[in-house]
Amino acid sequence: MSITQILFWFLSVVALFSALMVISSKNPIYSVLWLIVTFFSISGHYILLNAQFLAIVNIIVYAGAIMVLFLFVIMLMNLNKETEPPKNRWLKMAGAVAGGCLLLVLVAALKDTDIKQQHALVNEGNIGLIKNLGKELFTTYVVPFEISSILFLSAMVGAVVIGKKE
Amino acid sequence: MNVLIISAVLGVVMMFSSFLLKQNSTIRNLAIAGIGLLFVVNALEIGGTVFFKVNVHGMILFDRFALLFNAIALLSTFLYLVLSARDMEKVGVNYAEYFALIFFILCGITLVSSFKSFLILFLGIEIITIPLYILTGSDKRNLKSNEASLKYFLLGTFSTGLMLMGIALLYGARGTFSTTFVDVIEVKPSPLLVTGMILLLFSMSFKVSAAPFHFWTPDVYDGAPTVFTSFMATIVKAAVFIAFIRLFDDSFEKLQPQWRLLIGIITAATLFIGNITAVFQQSVKRMLAYSSIAQAGFMMMAVFAMNNDAKEGLLIYTAAYSFATIGIFAVLAKMPDYTFDGFNGLSRKQPLVAGTLTIFLLSLAGIPLTAGFLAKFYMLKAAMATPGSLWLVIFAVLMAAVSVYYYFRIIQAMYFKEGDASLITVSMVFKQTLVLLTILIVLLGIFPNLLLTWYYF
Amino acid sequence: MQNALQIVYLIPLLPFIGFLINGLGRNHLSKSMISLVGCGTIFASLVLSVWAFIQVKNGNAGTVTYFNFISVGDLTIPFAFQVDQLSAIFLLIITGVGFLIHVYSTAYMHSENSPHFGRYFSFLNLFVFSMLLLVMGANYVIMFIGWEGVGLCSYLLIGYWFRKQEYNQAANKAFVMNRIGDLAFLIAIFWIISRVGGVNFADVFAVAKGEVLHRGFSETDITVVTLLLFIGATGKSAQIPLYTWLPDAMAGPTPVSALIHAATMVTAGIYMIARSNILYSMSPVAMNVVAIVGLATALLAATIALKQNDIKKVLAYSTVSQLGFMFLALGTGAYVAAVFHVMTHAFFKALLFLGSGSVIHAMGGEQDIRNMGGLSRKLKITYITFLVGCIAIAGIPPLSGFFSKDAILLSAFTHNKIMYGIALFTAMLTAFYMFRLLFLTFSGKFRGSQEQEHHLHESPAAMTIPLIILAVLSIIGGFVGIPEIFVHGGDKLTAFLSPVIPQQPAHIVSHSTEYFLMALSTGLMIAMIIFAWIKFRNYRRSEAAGFGKVLENKWYVDELFEKIIVQPLHKLGGFLKSTIENSVIDGLVNGVGKVVNYGSRQFRLLQSGQVGNYVLLMVASMVLIFAIQFFLRK
Amino acid sequence: MIPVLLILIPLLTGLVTFFIKDEKMARAWSLITSVGTLAVSVAGITVFKDPGNLQRQYEWMQQLGSSFSVKIDGMGQVLCLLTAIAYPLIFIGTWKTQYKKAGNFFALMLLAQAGLMGVFVAMDALLFYFFWELALIPMYFLCSQWGGEKRIRVTFKFFIYTFLGSVLMLIGIIYLQSQTPDHSFSIKSFYELELSNETQSWIFWLFFVAFAIKMPVFPFHTWQPDTYEQSPTATTMVLSGIMVKMGLLGVLRWLFPVLPAAAYGWGNVVMTLSVAGIVYASLIAIRQDDIKRLVAYSSIAHIGLMCAAIFSENKSGMQGVMLQMFNHGINIIGLWIIVEIIERRFGTRKMSELGGLAQKAPAMAVFFVIIALANIALPLTNAFPGEFLMFNGILNSRSSFYLLFTIFAGLGIILGAVYTLNMIRKIFYGEVNAVTGAAMDLQWNEKIALGIIVALIFCIGVYPQVLLNMTDEISQAIINKRHVLEAISK
Amino acid sequence: MPINYYIFLSIALFAIGIVGVLTRRNAIIIFMCIELMLNAVNLLLVAFSKMHHLNNAVADVTAGTDGQLFVFFIMVVAAAEVSVGLAIIVMMYRNIHSVDVNFLNRLKH
């Protein structure tokens, strides 16, 4: 087993475990922290796939900015205690079963996919470098890029409309 | 392209107008004029005049279908604003921002009606939905509005997740985000492809509120401020339908054997849930929410059939449905009481309004000589052309008969029951616009070619 | 000479005009004017009928077609009249007796006020019109028009005093029972159309006789058609089982009973069968049925008449019985005898009814013979004419009834001895109950109230003159059909009718037998009359018991019909109305609505308001759809 | 031009009537226009009877394969004439009835007339469907707004029921259109269709249910008595006199020639239903106390007979039906006029509460008796030739149960006599009571309307050929269509 | 690495996200679970991107870039969503002092 493979398995196990912890932690703060761990492990995967730009953005934007925002809101609301009353157990079970079934169905559907023999290029390939992505982004993808600015404008207006005290 | 850019600009203009203009009426008139402008530039684009030459790298295509739909959507929005813009004042203080958001949504509508890439589809849908979350929750101190907003948000992002997973799987199977589908389909298509398609089907069904992904609809439509429900339920929904049919037409036409049955089931379920559940509603607004699900079921038949009739029909359907529903919501927004009993005796107090409302309801119910009939007719005709679809067609008309039940309850209340319902305030313009809508519906019902010639132009 | 006959349309038209004038002008015309119009039009018809009769006698019989009543595809039903020997005789009977009764009515109905008087006469005229249509029609459809028309007039006239609901009930009963027969008649017509392609008598008979080659009329067809026609006849002519309406029909004014329910309408069945004699002769089965039903009716009605106490009811049952005799004649192939009896019966039964009318008139509306008695002193003319009628009906020579009844009995004798025996017994009963009636009414002591006794008087001339004329006719009417053994060529009627009713094979009865039979019947009748004299000379009121009670209650036939037909239908209707209609059929329809409503209430609960549930349902359906897509549909 | 005029006159004048506020004006105006329509209709039969005047085709919705194609054939002539005659009669007969918002009432009545005319002349399936619904909507409003106590629920049921039927028919129409080679809705293309027996078999029911509900044929009839009872009588007249003919016309024009094999195959079933309906409705009618309901059930029985006669598939039956369509309309309108008078004068429709009217209102009694007797097909009234031909048709039908059908249908004749005479007896005969004591006889307007009806009854009764000649060709054509197909299949 | 591994890893993460949405009541945590789903998608896209790059690099040097750019756009949109979403949650909290979705039950049936 090469180091890449070891890393892959390690990161995968961490991602899955931390994801499970996200949904099972009683305390919202822990959930947030576990989610950050998940993001970090996913970023690790990105680095493994030589997608450095995304790895960095993931950490900066997601693990950094967004999760801090979450933490901030949770703190603001004083939800850092284990306040969540137990949900109806049957409903919880049903939810878990349904999600599990979906997983099963998807796995069953995709296990025989025609591209299962193919490989993802690991550690190599430079398309994930900031230079190459940037070039593409500002040439071919400039229109979507501009469009996303409209999205941001509307989100901004929205946040103001919603957040502003009357 | 004209509309996309100018409406984005207008959105920004409206943003600034909130602190540059003091008078609400000025803002309103500016917005209405803006929509008028958009309609004109769209018409120019249909005529071949494009102001902005942008290299979109094949990601967007403003074909006739898209432009014609844009025209319908813009006309609807125009009428909608003329009828209901005044009512937005009641919602909250951010009057100009609402218009800004509507303009941004129009951007999204332009995108989803003309996308050629999943990326644009994704962005377009997000541009539509994010402002909608806000508009839904814009009545900030109203708990129902809050609740609707949060429900909409949670379920909406959830469905976005599904859509993205679908897009990712499709990308895996095909290596591109372009919707133009050039692959040769083997006997057994790749499971990756099929799974991705189905996930997309789910998320699109969610956006158009098709069962069993409709659950958000009644609550959100009910909770949102009525003026915005009107917009959401008509123009936005129609746009997503256009996206839906476009997506499946472009990308999955060759996968028909894979999706036809599924869409058939979803269509039938939508018709069933929408119509059956609407029967027992007490609030007209909530009934209209269910009715919009039911109408979505009919529009799903266009997706199901996916032939030329279906596309033509969907255009007529969106027009017919939007016009009628906008009219009804506009009147509803003026009612002090949203229950059916609140309409009792309206015909005596406001004969004109009641008359136009009747036409709108008849159109929704699919009575001949209204656009609604022709729309349904097209749907049935399109579906009938698909082999083995008779069960769906019969089921659809049975449900159409059920729909008569709840639409006519309003007519009964207005005409045959005693009561003294009245509107809060009705301006002359309001009435004239209602009449205009009525005329449009009837004209379209008698001469559908007025619209369709533009399609074949 | 078709042209000459062309104007026969006036014969029915005149009464119809009378109907219109009296009907529309009943509020404006005076009573005398109404009488004039009513009687005048009939009289004109009578004159024309006589003229037509003479034409026919001179060999001018024929058919005149006016226009096509219905013409659809191959089927053409012309509006045509046929004036031949048979219809000519009936024309005379109808217009003649009809005229007398009209005249009689002017006096009898005089107490009615003018609008009702006008109504009465218009109905009466309409009746004559319909009856004329019936006998003049050149095809079964025109006949049927008259057939239903007379039924309608009968209905209208029975219910003439419409303020009494029981009269109206009787009228309804008459109409409905007639309709049952009419339905059979109609089906017979359709059957004929399907086999013959037309309904003209001439065409039908030609096909039946095999003169038209490309059409088929099998024996079964003929039997079916004749039986159906006979069912029609049982309705109109009050035979078993459809006879019960006729006694009830006595609710109408007495002249109506005389005209419609004795002299003319009820003989329509006889006319129809006589008209169709060619068909009947080809179906022995039908003939036997006719004979048996006729005989049974004759006997049954005669037994009932024995114990009736209402003067008109006795006459009504007597009519039913006599009609039975006529059918017996038809069934045994003696069509001419039947027609002969129709004629004589018309005379003496009209006479009897009018006489009873005179009695009732005198008694101030009293009809119960137990309350009468000894009227012969006060009502001389009535008494004498009534006596003539009784003798005639009893069949004492040389009055008319003797000849016609004798012909029938003879025919029965040649046909079947048992039938003859029963028929003779029935004839004896006839003599008995008629004289019972006569004695109870006219002899003995008056048993009514003082007031009635004081009021007793002879009727006015307008009533008595018709009585006298009819009495004369009853006496001499039989001479048109004197049996061959008395006078050679005396049976003018048979000869006259021979173009319509072909000569039957000669009787195989020796002259001595024939004489013996006549003597036997005459002797028996006289014996019965004497028996009646002894029994009822001094009548004392007593309650009927045992078998007598059964007879008094008419064998409980009405009750039986009520129990087995009317009530079950009524109950069925109620059941359908309240249970099937509301619960089952409408229940199904409404049930669909209710299911939708219920479904709505239940499916609404799916919309629980909980985001968690929504997502759960969505995920579950996703799993389901994936499962369908990947695992279930292969 | 005539068919277009027949649609346009009531349509446009109807729209105008909405704006007439004065009741008397609205009344007079609608009477005048309906007389105008009558004049046009009569002109179409007598003067302008060349084909050029009787048919028209305009471009309309070409892309869908539809066109505005109208034509008056023999059946159309009879039914248009019926509609045209019926309206003035209704307006005259109900001249004294007061309506709230009379303008709207008369406007809707005229719109319904336009719809009916359209149904009778449409030669394009989509157009036919349009008018089919167009006739229904005004009726719904009329019944719901001006009807009795339970009107809303009852007419709503009526509406949904008939709507359900018509949308099923719509499916059938669309399917047939998709099968035509030129993708056209025109009746010609439909007639040229040659579908397999199985296909015909199921499409048949899509159409037939729609028509059966409209007629109505047992067991699709339950909306009818309630609706007739609750509707304002003028509307009931339109419903029962004219509207039910839509169903019959549908069968004759759109079902029979288009799906001949299915019509043959299902003939026995339909005839069984129809005949069962005759007996069923008659038995129920016997037990009715409400005059309106009684007439309603009698109408079901009559329509059952007509429906059965259609499926007898022969000329006699066809002609009988066409004749009877007219007669039934005239007669039942006559009955309703009197029922309306009774209801208005005495405030009750219960026969048990009435009685003795013949003394107080002899003219009414005379008219009623004549019309009622015509209704049970007494000879020399108009219904006799019709029923005669229909019965003849049924007895001569190909069905192996022809005799059974005839006898059971014949039971209807007898039971018809029972309930009709009972009705006459209970209403008009007997002694007057508190309710009928102060009865008033007919007024001039009622006399005019009833007089015309009675005149028609006798004229057609004596000379039915005048109508039979009109429909001769068309009924032969319908039969031929069937026979030709049979020849091909052999 | 075989692409299958990535597919199953992503699906697993995605499913965990869904289960989280199904089982939790706290709106913020539900939202976080949705973010987890989005990240699963991102991972899958990047993996596919590298797979396509591997397959098509000969013909097109930039093959697979689009996948990574799509991820970028998803992140952008997610950020916008978060801002709006948290604003809505805060608004909700202001009104009912809870972020429990079970309390969202005024609108039903």
Q: B251-264, pLDDT tens digit by residue?
A: 888 888 889 999 99
What would the two tokens of residue D489 be?
Answer: 């299949």
| D423 is a domain residue | yes
> Omega into C241 within 30° of 0, i.e. cis?
yes
The residue-averaged pLDDT of B44-50 equals 89
**pLDDT at residue A112, as a whole number:** 79
The residue-averaged pLDDT of C84-105 equals 90
Mutation for C interface: E21, E37, E92, most C CBs within 10 A: E21
Reply yes or no on whether the pLDDT at A85 is more than 70: no
Ranking B391-395, C211-215, D213-217 by mean pLDDT, the lowest is C211-215
Domains: count for chain D: 1
Please check whether residues A99 and A60 belong to one and the same domain. Answer: yes
Q: Chain C partners of E106 at a C-beta cutoff of 8 Å?
A: 609
In sequence order, the 6+-apart residues with CB closer than 8 A to the CB of A47 are A55
Sign of the dihedral defined by the CA atoms of residues B180, B186, B187, B188, in that order? negative
> Omega into D219 within 30° of 0, i.e. cis?
yes
Q: Is the Cβ pair D429, C162 closer than 8 Å?
A: yes
State the smallest CA–CA distance between residue B51 and chain E in angstroms: 27
Q: Is the Cβ pair B161, E14 closer than 8 Å?
A: yes
Per-residue pLDDT tens for B146-155?
A: 999 999 999 9
The residue-averaged pLDDT of A115-132 equals 83
Chain A residues 85-144 within an 8 A CB cutoff of chain C = 87, 91, 94-95, 98-99, 101-102, 105-106, 108-109
Q: What is the CATH number of the domain that holds A61?
A: 1.20.120.1200
Please check whether residues A98 and A151 belong to one and the same domain. Answer: no
Task: Report CA dihedral (D39, D42, D46, D48) to the nearest 10 degrees.
Answer: 60
B201 to chain C: closest CA residue: C622
**pLDDT at residue B186, as a whole number:** 62
Cα separation, D237 vs B303, whole angstroms: 45
Q: Inform me whether the C-beta atom of residue B362 falls under 8 Å from chain D C-beta atoms.
A: yes
Is the Cβ–Cβ distance between C532 and C305 less than 8 Å?
no
Q: Which of E17, E77, E104 sits opposite B150 (nearest CB)?
A: E104
Please check whether residues A79 and A133 belong to one and the same domain. Answer: no
Is the Cβ–Cβ distance between C77 and C71 less than 8 Å?
yes
What would the two tokens of residue C2 be?
Answer: 């078709």
Radius of gyration of chain A (CA): 20
More confident residue, D52 or B208: B208
3-state secondary structure B323-366: HHHHHHHHHHHCCCCCEHHHHCCHHHHCHHHHHHHHHHHHHHHC
On average, the pLDDT of chain D sits at: 90
Q: Is the Cβ pair D164, B380 closer than 8 Å?
A: no
- Set out the domains of chain E in order of their start, with CATH numbers: 3-108 (1.10.287.3510)
The yes-or-no reply on D/E contact (3 CB pairs or more, < 8 Å) is: no
Please check whether residues A105 and A148 belong to one and the same domain. Answer: no
| D364 is a domain residue | yes
Please check whether residues A84 and A46 belong to one and the same domain. Answer: yes
Mutation for C interface: A89, A97, A101, most C CBs within 10 A: A101
Q: Is the Cβ pair B175, E30 closer than 8 Å?
A: no
Per-residue pLDDT tens for D351-375?
A: 888 888 888 888 899 999 999 999 9
Q: Chain A partners of E81 at a C-beta cutoff of 8 Å?
A: 155
What would the two tokens of residue C470 be?
Answer: 């009819």
Please check whether residues A60 and A134 belong to one and the same domain. Answer: no
| D449 is a domain residue | yes
On average, the pLDDT of chain C sits at: 88
Q: Inform me whether the C-beta atom of residue C622 falls under 8 Å from chain E C-beta atoms.
A: no
The residue-averaged pLDDT of C211-232 equals 84
Backbone φ and ψ for B139, nearest 5 degrees, come out as: -85, 85
What would the two tokens of residue B40 be?
Answer: 């004109």
Amino acid of residue C56: V
Cα separation, C363 vs D282, whole angstroms: 44
In sequence order, the 6+-apart residues with CB closer than 8 A to the CB of B135 are B98, B101, B102, B224, B225, B228, B231, B232
Reply yes or no on whether the pLDDT at A113 is more than 80: no
Cα separation, C633 vs C621, whole angstroms: 16
Predicted ipTM? 0.92
| D337 is a domain residue | yes
Cα separation, A18 vs D86, whole angstroms: 84
Mutation for E interface: C600, C602, C619, C626, most E CBs within 10 A: C619
Domain encompassing residue D423? 284-490
Domain encompassing residue A166? 129-166
> N- to C-terminal Cα distance for chain D?
42
Ranking C128-132, C322-326, C364-368, D234-238 by mean pLDDT, the lowest is C364-368
Please check whether residues A109 and A144 belong to one and the same domain. Answer: no
pTM as predicted: 0.91
Domains: count for chain A: 2
- How large is the angle between the packed helices D444-462 and D315-346, nearest 10 degrees? 160
Cα separation, B76 vs B72, whole angstroms: 6
Cα separation, D42 vs D85, whole angstroms: 9
What would the two tokens of residue B134 be?
Answer: 């806000």
Q: Is the Cβ pair A157, B101 closer than 8 Å?
A: yes
**pLDDT at residue D348, as a whole number:** 87
Q: Inform me whether the C-beta atom of residue D15 falls under 8 Å from chain B C-beta atoms.
A: no
| D426 is a domain residue | yes
Q: What percent of chain D has pLDDT over 90?
A: 55
Please check whether residues A8 and A89 belong to one and the same domain. Answer: yes
Please tell me what DSSP assigns to residue E97. Answer: S
Reply yes or no on whether the pLDDT at C507 is more than 80: no
Please check whether residues A73 and A120 belong to one and the same domain. Answer: yes
On average, the pLDDT of chain B sits at: 91
Reply yes or no on whether the pLDDT at C1 is more than 50: no
Exposed, middle or buried by CB within 10 Å (0-12, 13-18, 19+), for D1? middle
Please check whether residues A49 and A105 belong to one and the same domain. Answer: yes
Per-residue pLDDT tens for D376-427?
A: 889 889 999 999 999 999 988 888 888 899 999 999 989 999 999 999 999 9
Q: Which of A42-46, C245-249, C545-549, E54-58 has the highest mean pLDDT?
A: A42-46
More confident residue, A120 or D81: D81
HSE-CB at E81 with a 13 A cutoff on CA atoms is: 29
Q: Is the Cβ pair B397, D171 closer than 8 Å?
A: yes
Cα separation, D405 vs B214, whole angstroms: 53
Q: Chain B partners of C629 at a C-beta cutoff of 8 Å?
A: 194, 198, 258, 262
The residue-averaged pLDDT of D340-349 equals 86
Cα separation, C402 vs C405, whole angstroms: 5
Cα separation, D354 vs C121, whole angstroms: 28
Beta partners for B117? B178
**pLDDT at residue A86, as a whole number:** 63
Q: Chain D partners of B368 at a C-beta cutoff of 8 Å?
A: 129-130, 132-134
Cα separation, B234 vs B283, whole angstroms: 19
The yes-or-no reply on A/D contact (3 CB pairs or more, < 8 Å) is: no
Q: Chain E partners of C615 at a C-beta cutoff of 8 Å?
A: 21-22
What would the two tokens of residue E15 be?
Answer: 């499913």
The residue-averaged pLDDT of D271-300 equals 92
